[in-house]
Amino acid sequence: MEVSDFLEQVAYKSEMLIMDDAPTEVWKSKFDDSYLSHVGLECDLKFLADREITQELTHGVGFSPKDGKWYGWSHRAICGFHIGSTCKKGDCHYRASNEDEEIDAAIAFWRDDEFHEKTWVEDVGDGKIEVKWLYNDLTPNEKIRGTVCGTTWNYNPSEFGRGEWTAETLEDAKQMAIDFNKGVS
């Protein structure tokens, strides 16, 4: 589908205030008025037009009747989901289903088997953990060898997902697309 045809079907032009500058002309979704792209950067939407993501199009999620898939995307990646799609630990759309899985995901995200001696977490309360790691002797920056570094990882139990699962309905596929969008944004 041509981008111009795609935009005519799913979007409208509007002005938007961005970072206290003068109003900028943008494309917004006819479905929910969410931002899609700046006017003049229509080529940035070609990946949506090519997949014909024309239904329930929002900023980062939409459905393609062409291939029967829900898509999630950001500027980093795009992925389509259908009945039978799976979600496994390590996938961009994986969302822990409980605190133990969330802690495992945090450790997996920050662990570097090549340059870390070990990686662990410390509970700092209020839904926050601190992920820490000890740099080993193979770390290229000699000044940080043997030092501990860390970062705070926030999580909210009310936002836990389903863990590992398989989409059994198109609504499930939509949820995977939403989770993918959050995971790559």
Residue type, 40: G
Q: Kindly calculate the radius of gyration of the chain based on its CA atoms and give it in whole angstroms.
A: 21
Which residue matches tokens 């995971």?
Answer: 183
What's the CA gap between 10 and 44, in Å, rounded? 15
- Domain assignment present for residue 92? The answer is no
pLDDT digits (tens, 9 = 90+) for 40-82: 999 999 999 999 999 999 999 999 999 999 999 999 899 999 9
- The range of the structural domain enclosing residue 108 comes to 99-159
Same domain, residue pair 14 and 72: yes
- Domain assignment present for residue 120? The answer is yes
Same domain, residue pair 51 and 105: no
Helices (H) and strands (E) in the chain, counts: 4, 11
Structural domains in the chain (count): 2
Same domain, residue pair 155 and 179: no
Same domain, residue pair 34 and 123: no
What's the CA gap between 120 and 129, in Å, rounded? 10
Same domain, residue pair 82 and 108: no
Mean predicted confidence (pLDDT) in 103-115: 91
Same domain, residue pair 83 and 167: yes
Which residue matches tokens 């970062």?
Answer: 151
Same domain, residue pair 67 and 130: no
CA neighbours within 13 Å on the CB side: how many for 5? 7
pLDDT at 174: 98
In this prediction the pTM is: 0.85
